[in-house]
Every structure is written in structure tokens, then in C-alpha cells.
């Protein structure tokens, strides 16, 4: 039977379950990826397992989020991560070396491998044909320990690409077109597999952009074939020996099909405040722009920075527009510099920043009040920039460059009246820089792990009671993101290793008193709409609420990663059997989950909830493995019990 590429890779790594959509499967994980905002807690969770060294093929820890050192917290976390990496056998990418996705693709990515990352944009590794998924830090810590990753088997959406991109249209417009078609939840429970003759016109870094932002579609991950473009990229990085050819079989079948003619695309832009709010650039042209930023985990590669450098060559940014460049890695910046691009950018008035996520997670670069910011970032959720009521648009490097020059949103094709479109040729050999990567050594296990005062132990989580009585303290609408549940930014991110401190910011943006109210009530419930928990993989959006006493969330539907994180920390992820019941529940109401422990133990999928003398029915769609975690109060409790039992034999 002809197989698609996603199933080929899954089959090669399958250790549990069958490739039937919706059924839980377990796959071995070759690589793991951590970044510092999620990595501190993940490393604490790994240490709690009591293992001497990692058991994955390759694990890497990147410092790319918490780069501002306004006090001791971030610097303390960085030395903790570096010493813990040495102690347990991880690669460590130092602050300023680059964004995890860009650096991993440059130095470590291998076609056909699986990767689990504690960052929702880990699927960017599709650029080198890895089957890479985002997950909560605990799931990544377990993969570091050599355990399989369990998740619902996705459907495979086959997207046939034809044609080639026209001038002034690039890979960002491809994924924006997908978002225009599917919005932010249209690909939930799916792997997007691109195939067809149009694939060969996309470079490895083009594919990284498309794979990275597949997350915004709600997709489990994205995959591209490994072809001559993949080989050319790996050879240019000095790693050609890792290349293998991978593709779907002729006549392979997919669960769903779509087709995209690249030659028909035009410049697109996502308007405030959702990646799915996509229109043609021409529809919003003329709006004044006070800030443009090129870079972040997408559109920060050599090609993307060089196309901007060529567009602004011998030109100067508009005096009312602040023009920023965030390189994807130190190596990218070195290669752009070696070809004259840095001088072009500086002469145009660009502010070139260190390699990191920066403004994408609210770590600086916040726009002013009422200002419009055009960014090549993957997300523009409300307030994510650090400015309340922000006006953030997502666009291609070409569109960002055009706005930087003109001071207003401009269709980049209009620049074609002044200049030829600069098509960037990728180097046959990049300047390679591994100087800021600390490779693991056998002597590392002798390293003392240094813990600053902000490093707190993982909190103890109690098992589920026989009957749960709680109060509804918050009710929210559809598409609530993890940014809303647990904000990012330079005030909150440094507290990622201190659950007691960071819990004060849970739902702070929309309910400033949530922290005190939840602690006062003891055990509480949250009610939500569709696609609850979209966005970042941050497990703190589950762990911090659990610390405050949240024991259940009842919604119309959940985003994949957040639902898994809720199970990992013992929060019941329930959905309404009748979505109309959402309307009947309100804050301040007491709810009772009677005999809940026995119901979960015996495998009930319908969970009755007593509300004001009546009963509504909710659904618990979780695996047997997740049921054990819910009963125990969290996955870490289960795994520690298993390890203790095996060590006692």
C-alpha cells in the first residue's frame, strides 16, 4: 500500500498503538529541544526523575527567550541550565547564539528523525524533514529520559503545491494563505504534509517558515519531503552526510486533500489580533506604521535578512518608522555580514539586535500606545507585544521592508516600480559558527549544578479526591490562548522556575484578582469556549493554575498541547456534551463532581456535574495513561512511582 511520508516516519518510530486517527499512539523521540523559558522547569522535572544522564539520542537546551538581564533572575537561570546540561548530557546553546529552531536546523537537524520540543514552534524543523512536535516541558523531560511520547494519532492533510512563487511573494505568504483558508483551529488534530511539483521551488528555510507557523493553524506538526534542496542546505552547513531522501510513495493517500498554486499567491498580512485574521496587503495599504521588525523564530534566516538588506540598500527607513532586525542566529548574522548585508541595514537606519525571540514574547520591542507594528513573527495575540490594546500585524520580510521605507503598509509589489526584486541565492557553503554551543562531555557528570535563589523545587501535587466540590471562578470565550492564561513578557518570564511567584500572574490580563480569588476558594473550576489553550506550549498555563487550586476546566474544546498539559498536572479536561450548557454556567456557582475518582478509574467517558440542583453531562476524552495521571495528581507522580518500583525489584 502506498504510504504518505508522515506515516512512514511515524511507523518507523511507533512503539504503541495503531495509526488510526484519534487513537493514542506512542512514538520514540530521537531529539529533544528546550528553550530557557520552558527549559528551567523541564530540567527540574527531569532531575525529579532521579536519572543520572539523558537517554535520548540528542538533547539540546537553547537560551533564546529570557535574554534581558534586568536583575539576577535570568542570569541565575542561565547558569543553572548550563551546569545542569553538563551534568546530564545536553548540548547547551549560550545566550545570544540564536533561536532554538534556527540553530537546531543549522547544527543538528536530520531528515526522518523525530523531535519533541518544549516550544510550540518546534515543527519548524520540517525545513529539514524532521517530524517535530511541540509539547509541554514534562513530556519533553520524559522523552529525555527515553520514554515514548504519547498523543492522539493525527489525520494527515495532504497539500499539493504547484507552480512557483511570483516576485515579491515569499514563504510567509504561503502559510498566511493557509491561515486565510483554515484559520487558527482548522487543522487541529492533523499533520500537514506538503507534496507535489511546487515543493522543489521552496528552500529549506522557506519550509521552516511554513512548518513553524503550521502551529498557528492548530496542526500537530508539518512535514516536507527531503529532496535535493534539503541536501543542498545540509551540505552548505557542512553536514551533508546526514542527508537521506524521503518522500511519499507514488499514489499515497491522505485523510484530507488540498491544493495550493504558488504562482497565484499575492502578498498577505494577518491583522490584529489573530494569526488567522488574514487579508491581502492591498486591502489595508496606507495605514501608518510606527514599527517594523524582521526576525524571530520565522523569517530570521540568511535568505530573509538578505532580501530585506537588498530591498533597503541605498535607501533610508521612513523617519516615523522604527526599523528592527532580530537575526535567527549568530551564524545567520555572520553570513549576512560577510555579504555586505549588515552595512546595508545599518545605513538604512535599522536597529540590529542580538539573536533571540525578543519582541515575539514581549521581551522588549513593545510598541507605543496606539502605534501600529508590522512584524514577521508567528503570533499577534492581544497584548503579547507587551503593550495593552496593541495593533500588531504579521507579514513577510518583503512587506515589512516596504513599510519600513514608506512609513505605511505597502504592497511590496509597488517597490517593483523602483527596483528589481532581489532573488537571494543561498551560499554553497555557509560560514559555520559553533563557538557558542557547549557540547556534552563524559566528565560532565562531575559538574555541580548551580541553583540561584529563583530556582524552586517542583511543587507537590495531591491526588484526585473521591468527590470534587469546587466553585467556578472564571468563564472565558473562544480561542483563549496560553498567553492569556499565563502571560509572557519581561516581568513574568523570569519567574518560570518559581511556580509560587509566577502563579500571581495567572489570568492577570483579564482577571487581575484571579490569583487571590482562587487561593481563597481552595478548589476551583474554569469554564471556556472552543479551542481553549491555543498557542504556546507553555506548561505553566496548566501548572500554575493547578498550584492555585484549579482542578477542572470545562470547555467546548481544547487545543492539543494544553489538554495534554492539563492531564500532566492533574487538571480534569472536560468538554460539554451539549455545547449549549456553556450558557447555563456562571462564575460564583458551586459544582460537584460526585464519585469522580471511581468514574475515572472505571473508564467513564461521561462525567455528570451537579450544578444548582441540576445535572449537566460533560465528556472526558483521555487515554488510560492520562487517567492514571489524573488520579495520581499528575504524570510526574506516576513516573516516579514506576521508577521507584523498578529500582526496588
Could you report the per-residue pLDDT of 101-148, keeping only the tens digit for each?
A: 999 999 999 999 999 999 999 999 999 999 999 999 999 999 999 999
pLDDT at 68: 86
Distance CA 525, CA 201 (A): 50
Output the pLDDT for position 643.
76
pLDDT at 556: 97
| CATH code, domain carrying 513 | 3.20.19.10
Residue range 610-636: mean pLDDT, rounded: 95
Classify the phi-psi angles of 595: left when phi > 0, otherwise alpha if psi is within -120 to 50, otherwise beta: left
Residues 178, 51, single domain; the answer is yes
pLDDT at 299 over 60: yes
Residue 644, domain member (yes or no): no
Given 207, 235, 264, the domain boundary residue is 264
The proportion of the chain whose per-residue pLDDT surpasses 70, expressed as a percent, equals 100
Residue 21 sits in the same domain as residue 126: yes
Is 46 contained in some domain? yes
Closest Cα partner for 355 from 97, 102, 124, 108?
97
Q: Is residue 122 part of a domain?
A: yes
Overall average pLDDT of the 305-326 stretch: 98
Taking residues 176-183, report their average pLDDT: 98
Same domain? 134 vs 86: yes
Cβ(180)–Cβ(86) below 8 Å: no
Cα distance between residue 36 and residue 22, in whole Å: 32
Mean pLDDT of 151-158: 97
CATH code of the domain covering residue 122: 3.30.499.10
pLDDT at 133: 98
Question: Based on the structure, what is the number of domains in the chain?
Answer: 3
Across 147-185, b (16+ Cβ under 10 Å) vs e yields bbbbbbbbbbbbbbbeeebbebbbbbbbbbbbbbebbbb
φ and ψ at 193, to 5 degrees? -115, 120
Q: Specify whether the CB–CB gap between 588 and 579 falls below 8 A.
A: no
pLDDT, mean of residues 35-48: 91
User: At which of 264, 291, 310 does a domain end?
Assistant: 264
Arithmetic mean of pLDDT, 270-295: 97
Please indicate, yes or no, whether residues 280 and 211 belong to a single structural domain of this protein. no
In whole angstroms, give the CA distance from residue 45 to residue 142: 9
Neighbours of 564 (CB within 10 A): 27
Shared domain for 272 and 242, answered yes or no, is no
Task: Please identify, among 238, 264, 290, the residue that sits at the C-terminal boundary of a domain.
Answer: 264
Regarding whether 573 and 543 lie in a shared domain, the answer is: yes
Q: Are residues 184 and 285 located together in one domain of the fold?
A: no
- Neighbour tally for 547: CB within 10 Å: 20
Q: Write down the H helix ranges in 312-396.
A: 330-338, 341-347
Q: For residue 278, give the H/E element and its range.
A: strand 278-280
- Which has more confidence, 444 or 484? 484
Whether 603 maps to a domain, the answer reads: yes
| Judgement on whether residues 286 and 211 belong to the same structural domain of the protein | no
Domain assignment of residue 423, yes or no: no
- The shares of helix, strand and coil residues in the chain, as percent rounded to the nearest 5, are 35, 20, 45
* pLDDT tens digit sequence for 54-102: 999 999 999 999 888 888 889 999 999 999 999 999 999 999 999 999 9
Phi, psi of 189 (to 5 degrees): 75, 20
Task: Give the structural domain span for 495.
Answer: 468-637
- Give percent above pLDDT 90 in the chain: 86
Among 154-158, 469-473, 608-612, 635-639, whose mean pLDDT is lowest? 635-639
Confidence grade of residue 443 (pLDDT, cut at 50, 70, 90) = confident
In a shared domain, residues 243 and 208: yes
**pLDDT tens profile 372-390:** 999 999 999 998 888 989 9
348-352, 364-368, 488-492: lowest mean pLDDT where? 488-492
Stated pTM of the model: 0.92
Measured distance CA(237)–CA(225) in Å, rounded: 19
| pLDDT tens per residue across span 232-268 | 999 999 999 999 999 999 999 999 999 999 999 999 9
pLDDT tens for 328-360 read 999 999 999 999 999 999 999 999 999 998 888
For residue 649, tell me if it sits in a domain: no
Exposure string for 439-448, b = 16+ CB within 10 A, e = fewer:
ebeeebeeee
Q: How confident is the model at residue 647 (pLDDT cuts 50, 70, 90)?
A: low
**What does the pLDDT read at residue 648?**
57
With respect to residue 550, please indicate whether it lies within any of the assigned structural domains: yes
CA atoms of 232 and 141, how far apart (whole Å): 33
Q: Are residues 37 and 56 in the same domain?
A: yes
Closest-CA residue to 524 (of 533, 511, 538): 511
Whether residues 322 and 308 fall in one domain: yes
Asked if the structure places residue 455 within a domain, the reply is no
Using CA atoms of 486, 491, 497, 500 in order, give the dihedral in degrees to the nearest 10: -70
Same domain? 481 vs 502: yes
Mean pLDDT, to the nearest integer, of 550-569?
Answer: 95
Q: Given phi > 0 = left and psi -120 to 50 = alpha, else beta, which region is 166? A: beta
Asked if 27 and 14 touch (Cβ cutoff 8 Å), the reply is yes
pLDDT tens-digit readout, 564-609: 999 999 999 999 999 999 999 999 999 999 999 999 999 999 999 9
d(CA 262, CA 201) in angstroms, rounded, equals 9
Give the pLDDT confidence score for residue 490 in this predicted structure.
Answer: 80
Amino acid at each position: 500500500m502506498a504510504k504518505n511520508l508522515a506515516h512512514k516516519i511515524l511507523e518507523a518510530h511507533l512503539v504503541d498503538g495503531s495509526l488510526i486517527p484519534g487513537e493514542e499512539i506512542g512514538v520514540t523521540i530521537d531529539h529533544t529541544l528546550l528553550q530557557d523559558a520552558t527549559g528551567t522547569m523541564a530540567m527540574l522535572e527531569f532531575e525529579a526523575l532521579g536519572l543520572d544522564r539523558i537517554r535520548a539520542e540528542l538533547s539540546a537546551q537553547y537560551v533564546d527567550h529570557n535574554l534581558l538581564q534586568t536583575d539576577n533572575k535570568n542570569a541565575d537561570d542561565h547558569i543553572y541550565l548550563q551546569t545542569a546540561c553538563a551534568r546530564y548530557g545536553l548540548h547547551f546553546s549560550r545566550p545570544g547564539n540564536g533561536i532554538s529552531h534556527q540553530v537546531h536546523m543549522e547544527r543538528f537537524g536530520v531528515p526522518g528523525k523525530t523531535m519533541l520540543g518544549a516550544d510550540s514552534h518546534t515543527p519548524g524543523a520540517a525545513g529539514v524533514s524532521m517530524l517535530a512536535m511541540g509539547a509541554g516541558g514534562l513530556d519533553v523531560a520524559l522523552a529525555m529520559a527515553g520514554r515514548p511520547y504519547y498523543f492522539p494519532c493525527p489525520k494527515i492533510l495532504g497539500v499539493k503545491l504547484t507552480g512557483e512563487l511570483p516576485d515579491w511573494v515569499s514563504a510567509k505568504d504561503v502559510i498566511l494563505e493557509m491561515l486565510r483558508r483554515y484559520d487558527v483551529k482548522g487543522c487541529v488534530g492533523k499533520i500537514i504534509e506538503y507534496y507535489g511539483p511546487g515543493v522543489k521551488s521552496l528552500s529549506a528555510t522557506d519550509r521552516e517558515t511554513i512548518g513553524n507557523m503550521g502551529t498557528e493553524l492548530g496542526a500537530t506538526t508539518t512535514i516536507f519531503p527531503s529532496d535535493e534542496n534539503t541536501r543542498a542546505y545540509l551540505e552548505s552547513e557542512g553536514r551533508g552526510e546526514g542527508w537521506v531522501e524521503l518522500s511519499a510513495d507514488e499514489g499515497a493517500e491522505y485523510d484530507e486533500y488540498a491544493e495550493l498554486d504558488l504562482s497565484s499567491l499575492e502578498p498577505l498580512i494577518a491583522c490584529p489580533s489573530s494569526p488567522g485574521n488574514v487579508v491581502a496587503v492591498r486591502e489595508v495599504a496606507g495605514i501608518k506604521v510606527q514599527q517594523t521588525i524582521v526576525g524571530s523564530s520565522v523569517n530570521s534566516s540568511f535568505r530573509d535578512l538578505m532580501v530585506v538588506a537588498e530591498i533597503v540598500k541605498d535607501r533610508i527607513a521612513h523617519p516615523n518608522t522604527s526599523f528592527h532586525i532580530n537575526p535567527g542566529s549568530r551564524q545567520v548574522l555572520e553570513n549576512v555580514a560577510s555579504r555586505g548585508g549588515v552595512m546595508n541595514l545599518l545605513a538604512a537606519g535599522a536597529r540590529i539586535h542580538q539573536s533571540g525571540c525578543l519582541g515575539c514574547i514581549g521581551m522588549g520591542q513593545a510598541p507605543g500606545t496606539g502605534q501600529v507594528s508590522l512584524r514577521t513573527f508567528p503570533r499577534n495575540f492581544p497584548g503579547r507585544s507587551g503593550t495593552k490594546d496593541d495593533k500588531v500585524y504579521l507579514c513577510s520580510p518583503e512587506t515589512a521592508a516596504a513599510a519600513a521605507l514608506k512609513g505605511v503598509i505597502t504592497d511590496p509589489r509597488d517597490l517593483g516600480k523602483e527596483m528589481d526584486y532581489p532573488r537571494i541565492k543561498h551560499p554553497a557553503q555557509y560560514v559555520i559558527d559553533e563557538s557558542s554551543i557547549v557540547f556534552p562531555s563524559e566528565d560532565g557528570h562531575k559538574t555541580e549544578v548551580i541553583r540561584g535563589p529563583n530556582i524552586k523545587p517542583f511543587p507537590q501535587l495531591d491526588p484526585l479526591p473521591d468527590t470534587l466540590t469546587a466553585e467556578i471562578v472564571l468563564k472565558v470565550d473562544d480561542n483563549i490562548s496560553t498567553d492569556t492564561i499565563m502571560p509572557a513578557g519581561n516581568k513574568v518570564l523570569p519567574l518560570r522556575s518559581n511556580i509560587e511567584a509566577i502563579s500571581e500572574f495567572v489570568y492577570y490580563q483579564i482577571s487581575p484578582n484571579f490569583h487571590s480569588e482562587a487561593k481563597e476558594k481552595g478548589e476551583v473550576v474554569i469554564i471556556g469556549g472552543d479551542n481553549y489553550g491555543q498557542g504556546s506550549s507553555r506548561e505553566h498555563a496548566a501548572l500554575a493554575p493547578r498550584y492555585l487550586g484549579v482542578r477542572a476546566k470545562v470547555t467546548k474544546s481544547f487545543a492539543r498541547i494544553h489538554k495534554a498539559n492539563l492531564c500532566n498536572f492533574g487538571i480534569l479536561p472536560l468538554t460539554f456534551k451539549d455545547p449549549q450548557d456553556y450558557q447555563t454556567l456562571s462564575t460564583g456557582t458551586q459544582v460537584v463532581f460526585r464519585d469522580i475518582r471511581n468514574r475515572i478509574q472505571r473508564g467513564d467517558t461521561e462525567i455528570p456535574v451537579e450544578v444548582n440542583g441540576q445535572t449537566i453531562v460533560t465528556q472526558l476524552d483521555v487515554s488510560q495513561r492520562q487517567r492514571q495521571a489524573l488520579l495520581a495528581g499528575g504524570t510526574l507522580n506516576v513516573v516516579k512511582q514506576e521508577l521507584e518500583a523498578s529500582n526496588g525489584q
